[in-house]
């Protein structure tokens, strides 16, 4: 079984995000970029499935500018076998990404598409769901435990009320949560080896996908500044304040 794993290049999770001066978006120039953290879990899951003999080949896909190739190389250094880079704008919307992934899934015929549960830049949490719908495949989202036997998948989903265990069949789309595993670091020798692994580049047009945006960003602004706190002298004063101001007692 082939596995297609989607990896997005995003602003590194340790970086303090800055809004562009013209409020049109978030600054990505001269900012450290990395693989979306949830996608690292997806790559790790794919490698574990290959190591246990369930997967035969792992294809890492990224949609974005030429810089996305660095993200694919990271996946290759972790253990993916080959990469596909789809040249597209930085702000390609989830629907367009899902259509591109559908075209690739139809071409490559994987038994499983793995994605992160959400990209930490847009927090859309849409791509996996849209992709499963477009393909007409089963889906398991927010997965924190995954077992595959033949064509049967058992997945544990992290839902608000606790953990939900579901059964589905391949081919399927699975979006993964952080608790699924601990992504491995790429060793230096593997980083060197990854440079020689094959990577195809194509455009969305080559796949017949229209990536024209369906949404218009009106404005991106910083969250409001937190107001300064007040120091109280005693618990009694705190309770009085809560009674007067918070309307919770």
Give contact residues for ligand AMP (rule: CB under 6 A).
6-8, 36, 38-39, 42, 61-64, 92, 94, 97, 115-116, 118-119, 122, 124-128
| Residue 137 · residue 76 · CB < 8 Å | no
**Of 114 and 153, CB closest to ligand AMP:** 114
Q: Which two tokens stand for residue 200?
A: 């195809």
**Of 89 and 198, CB closest to ligand AMP:** 89
151 vs 173: CA distance, rounded Å? 13
CB 247, min distance to ligand AMP, A: 36
- State the sign of the Cα–Cα–Cα–Cα dihedral 173, 132, 87, 92: negative
223 vs 163: CA distance, rounded Å? 32
**Of 63 and 186, CB closest to ligand AMP:** 63
CB 105, min distance to ligand AMP, A: 13
Cα distances (angstroms) measured from residue 13 to each of 3, 8, 94, 115, 192: 26, 13, 20, 18, 25
| Residue 44 · residue 183 · CB < 8 Å | yes
CB 109, min distance to ligand AMP, A: 19
**Of 98 and 186, CB closest to ligand AMP:** 98
Residue with smallest beta-carbon separation from ligand AMP: 116
Reported in sequence order, the residue ranges of the chain that DSSP labels E, i.e. its strands, are 2-6, 9-11, 33-35, 57-64, 82-87, 112-116, 138-149, 152-159, 162-169, 172-176, 199-203
Cβ contacts of 66 within 8 Å, gap of 6 or more? 85, 87
Q: Which two tokens stand for residue 168?
A: 């589905």
**Of 92 and 181, CB closest to ligand AMP:** 92
**Of 132 and 194, CB closest to ligand AMP:** 132
CB 238, min distance to ligand AMP, A: 40
**Of 125 and 190, CB closest to ligand AMP:** 125
Residue 31's SS3 state is coil
CB 126, min distance to ligand AMP, A: 4
CB 240, min distance to ligand AMP, A: 45
Cα distances (angstroms) measured from residue 187 to each of 9, 53, 76, 190: 20, 22, 11, 5
CB 60, min distance to ligand AMP, A: 9
């Amino acid at each position: 079984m082939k596995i297609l794993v989607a990896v997005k290049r995003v602003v590194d999770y340790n970086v303090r995000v800055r809004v562009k001066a013209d409020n049109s978006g978030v600054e990505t120039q001269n900012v450290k970029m990395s693989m979306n953290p949830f996608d690292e879990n997806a790559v790790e899951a794919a490698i574990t499935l290959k190591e246990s003999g369930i997967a035969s080949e792992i294809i890492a896909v990224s949609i974005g500018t030429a810089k996305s190739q660095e993200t694919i190389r990271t996946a290759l250094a972790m253990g993916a076998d080959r990469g596909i880079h789809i040249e597209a704008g930085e702000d390609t919307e989830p629907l367009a990404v899902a259509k591109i992934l559908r075209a690739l899934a139809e071409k490559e015929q994987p038994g499983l598409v793995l994605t992160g549960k959400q990209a930490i830049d847009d927090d859309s949490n849409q791509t996996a769901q849209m992709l499963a719908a477009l393909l007409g495949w089963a889906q398991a989202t927010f997965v924190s435990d995954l077992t595959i036997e033949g064509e049967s998948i058992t997945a544990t989903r992290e839902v608000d009320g606790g953990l939900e265990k579901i059964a589905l069949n391949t081919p399927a789309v699975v979006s993964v949560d952080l608790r699924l595993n601990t992504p491995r670091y790429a060793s230096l020798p593997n980083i060197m080896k990854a440079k020689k692994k094959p990577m195809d580049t194509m455009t969305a047009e080559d796949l017949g996908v229209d990536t024209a945006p369906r949404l218009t960003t009106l404005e991106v602004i910083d969250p409001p500044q937190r107001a300064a706190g007040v120091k109280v002298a005693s618990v009694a004063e705190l309770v009085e304040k809560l009674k007067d101001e918070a309307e919770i007692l």
